[in-house]
Amino acid sequence: MTLFRAFRSDKANDMPELNYHHLRYFRAVARAESLTRAAEALNLAPSALSAQIRALEQRLGQDLFDRQGRRMVLTEAGRIALAHADTIFAAGEELVATLREAGRGQRVLRVGALATLSRNFQLGFLRPVLGRKDVEVILRSGSMAELLRDLGSLALDVVLTSEPPSGGAFVAHRLAEQPVSLVGKPSLFAGRVTLAERLAAAPLILPAPESGLRAGFEALRERLGLTLEIAAEVDDMAMMRLLAREGVGLAVLPPIVVRDELASGELQEADRLPGLVQPFHAVTVPRRFPNPLLQALLRAA
């Protein structure tokens, strides 16, 4: 029995052990590319931080940084270590977030939405959980970069957007697509004319040039060989809706954006634009413990 215990003890001492704090310090230096800046952020002396990095390098048996003057550049081993460190910290953050929510009587769904996205679409997606006493919905709007950053750090459960992000870190669920039409005041639709004649004659409220919807519209314009009168270029569907209500011009919009105005007759849908659709996506990140509220919404959508 004594020999067996000694054998187990020797094997345990041979196992490589990683220090969570060493990984945290290494990650801070890798992101800052500077020992001094990372030390300031961590409230440590640069010498103490350098000693922690050396201890990690000794434990791994690899140099993690190529020290180029004051700049700390990751070696190949360092890039591998950073990828694993990011995974470890993401798992830790997910564990804390999941267990914190498990202790609450009320479940929380954290939703980010692109600031320019149709409010009617957002309401339609969230309707199954709105008004439930056991559910709190936290809804944030912002730029794509801001929302994806918060999604990656698990501060959000999902991001609603009209265009999927690039990169393999995110999963884009295509929830729906809406046709795109010319929408405006009834007074702007006098007479029976072709689509090309209407586009050429009326002032237009168009999506911003950098949007996917605008790219599709420009392709249609080129096929028809038209020169257009542009009244406004807008990156916000809510503002396009308001401009259409003011009679500024005909808006290139999915009808869902102006659903209430179409129902009341304040606005009219004249022509569907062939080949143009507006997709809607729910963007998530792979999680070991996905929010069950979100899973139910994705299934319903």
Q: Tell me the pLDDT tens digit for each residue of 205-261.
A: 999 888 888 999 999 999 999 989 999 999 888 899 999 999 999 999 999 899 999
Q: How deeply is 293 buried, as exposed, middle or buried, from its count of CB atoms within 10 A (0-12, 13-18, 19+)? A: buried
Confidence band, pLDDT 50/70/90 cuts, at residue 85: confident
Instruction: Give dist(CA 42, CA 29) in Å, integer.
Output: 10
Please say if the pLDDT value at position 36 is more than 70.
yes
Structure tokens at 123: 């309401």
Given the DSSP bridges, would you call strands 107-114 and 135-142 parallel, antiparallel or unpaired? parallel
Query: Is 177-276 CATH 3.30.70.2860?
Result: no
Q: Is 167 left (phi over 0), alpha (psi -120 to 50) or beta?
A: left
Which is more confidently placed, 37 or 18? 37
Neighbours of 253 (CB within 10 A): 27
Please say if the pLDDT value at position 101 is more than 70.
no
Structure tokens at 130: 């709105």
Q: What percent of the chain has pLDDT over 90?
A: 37
Please say if the pLDDT value at position 284 is more than 50.
yes
Every domain of the chain with CATH number 3.40.190.10 lies at 106-176+281-300
Instruction: Give dist(CA 169, CA 278) in Å, integer.
Output: 23
Which is more confidently placed, 175 or 9? 175
Structure tokens at 195: 């689509």
Confidence at residue 12, expressed as pLDDT on a 0 to 100 scale: 42
Confidence at residue 233, expressed as pLDDT on a 0 to 100 scale: 94
Structure tokens at 183: 């929408």
Tell me the average pLDDT across 106-125.
87
Please say if the pLDDT value at position 34 is more than 70.
yes
Confidence at residue 102, expressed as pLDDT on a 0 to 100 scale: 55
Q: Would you call 204 helix, strand, or coil by DSSP?
A: strand
Give the bridge partners for 27, in sequence order: none
Confidence band, pLDDT 50/70/90 cuts, at residue 105: low
Confidence at residue 270, expressed as pLDDT on a 0 to 100 scale: 85
Task: Give 62's contacts (C-beta < 8 A, 6+ positions apart).
Answer: 75, 77, 78, 81
Please say if the pLDDT value at position 9 is more than 70.
no
Mean pLDDT of the chain: 85
Decide if 80 contacts 30 (C-beta within 8 A).
Answer: no
Every domain of the chain with CATH number 3.40.190.290 lies at 177-276
Confidence band, pLDDT 50/70/90 cuts, at residue 1: very low
CATH assignment of 2-97, given 3.90.1170.50, 1.10.10.10, 2.60.260.20, 3.30.70.890? 1.10.10.10
Cα torsion through 216, 217, 222, 223, rounded to 10? 80
Instruction: Outline where the chain has alpha helix (H).
Output: 2-14, 20-32, 35-42, 46-60, 76-102, 119-126, 144-152, 195-201, 212-224, 237-245, 259-264, 292-300
Please say if the pLDDT value at position 286 is more than 50.
yes
106-176+281-300: CATH class: alpha beta
Residue in the structure block whose two tokens are 């038209």: 226
Please say if the pLDDT value at position 13 is more than 70.
no
Tell me the average pLDDT across 24-38.
90
- Provide the CA 157 distance to its chain's centre, in angstroms: 10
Confidence at residue 283, expressed as pLDDT on a 0 to 100 scale: 95
Confidence at residue 147, expressed as pLDDT on a 0 to 100 scale: 92
Instruction: Give dist(CA 218, CA 201) in Å, integer.
Output: 16
Every domain of the chain with CATH number 1.10.10.10 lies at 2-97
Task: Give 51's contacts (C-beta < 8 A, 6+ positions apart).
Answer: none
